[in-house]
Amino acid sequence: MKPKIKHIVIIIFNAVVITAICILTIVGNSMAGSQRYNYTADTWKNNNKENFAQISTFFAENSGFTTDLLNSVRAELIKELQNISIETDGKNLPFAEAYSTQAGTFKIKGDLTGSSEAVLTAVGGDFFVFRNFHLINGSYFNDGDLMQDGAVIDRSLAWELYGSSDVAGMNLYIDGVKFYISGVIENPETKPEKNCVGKLPRIYISYDGASHLSSLTDNSKTLISPDTLPTVNTGLRNITCYETILPNPVENFAYNTVKKQFSENYKDKCSIVKNSTRFEPSVRSKAFRKIADYAVIKNNINYPYWENASRIVEFKLTFLYFFRKILFVVPALTALWLVILAVMFLKRKKPAVLRAISIFIDRRRRDIKEKIFKKQEKV
């Protein structure tokens, strides 16, 4: 029997739709994968079999969340983990955290004649663990360093200061205070990040290092040297980005734990993001109903460029996965149509089908009996 034209059209149409779904899936995965910082939990847990989730909280400049409150936040997180029987020894915490704030634009100078304006970000905790930076020279600094005078700069700033990216260990000066270049990172490479990072180079120093900058302290504006740094941190303490990776034994445990810490105290002055699941197709397609939220600014939160880049990808994926969801209707309806046709066919051919089944069963029984009989003859 030759297939009818309508059947050929249906087959071709479904093939085109399924191909489109596959292409959209590949494109969506590629877009989500470009924002690697949202998947830090996957690499941080290493071989740990427990589930972990990454949660980010962004605060308004006037929220009042500072480094002075970190210990109390950690204590509450530990308490919540102990409530679900996760052991904590107080030293090796079963979670990671990072905090940061963009401190402003500064004039950066090198030992030679090179200088440049750069956007300075003060960071703490496991900040560089959370970032998808590409380190091209040197290393990152961390909270455990004896001296907190290291700085991580991007390639653009390295070239402005010394005409090279191979500058780890060399000096730079901010507000007259000397720092050394701990590492050099590549400039943002993805299109969303390039759109959000701005034209100025980037520099990252520790909160302790930022406290030594005269323009960020309550001390005298007199320029100081590392040998006369104050022992009490009276400088920058504001936090506008707090990130954590928490055990997530049940769905939304990590998110609800972080939300419990911040939503009541900071209400309209913070935004909590579930990084680990933000790009999932089911999440993005559902977000289409609230797509207007991306166009309306409801708070004065100044998101860091890496989060703005991820929000751009979120916006695009919301449309992409919603459209993909609609396309799934075509093969679903086709499958339903085929099931109905099959049922109708079986009803018409029921006697013949039953007879065929009966014949098949009889043959199987006969074959089994013959095999048994042959075995008995051999014995």
Residue 14 lies in a domain: no
Dihedral class, residue 325 (left if φ above 0, else alpha if ψ from -120 to 50, else beta): alpha
**DSSP-based three-state secondary structure for 154:** strand
- Same domain flag for 267 and 346: no
DSSP 79-129: HHHHHTT----SSS-SSEEEEEEEEEEEEEEESSS-EEEEEEEEEEESHHH
- Same domain flag for 101 and 237: yes
Residue 312 lies in a domain: no
Rounded to whole angstroms, the Cα distance separating 230 from 310 reads 38
pLDDT at 7: 82
pLDDT at 147: 87
Rounded to whole angstroms, the Cα distance separating 41 from 54 reads 6
- Same domain flag for 225 and 335: no
Rounded to whole angstroms, the Cα distance separating 279 from 283 reads 7
**DSSP-based three-state secondary structure for 52:** strand
Nearest to 196 by CA among 299, 349, 305: 305
pLDDT at 220: 35
- Same domain flag for 127 and 271: yes
Number of domains in the chain: 2
| Boundary residue ending a domain (231, 259, 276) | 276
- Same domain flag for 133 and 236: yes
**Is 0.75 topped by the overall pTM?**
yes
- Same domain flag for 44 and 160: yes
Residue 30 lies in a domain: no
Residue 145 lies in a domain: yes
- Same domain flag for 236 and 351: no
pLDDT at 378: 62
Mean pLDDT by 10 residues, the chain (379 residues): 76 93 94 91 72 93 91 89 75 83 93 92 94 94 88 96 94 93 94 92 95 68 37 68 92 91 86 93 86 68 91 92 93 90 78 76 78 66
pLDDT at 222: 34
Residue 285 lies in a domain: no
- Same domain flag for 232 and 352: no
Rounded to whole angstroms, the Cα distance separating 59 from 70 reads 14
- Same domain flag for 225 and 353: no
Rounded to whole angstroms, the Cα distance separating 289 from 111 reads 55
pLDDT at 92: 66
- Same domain flag for 229 and 337: no
- Torsion, Cα 145 138 195 277, to 10 degrees, reads -60
Structural domain boundaries, residue 354: 331-369
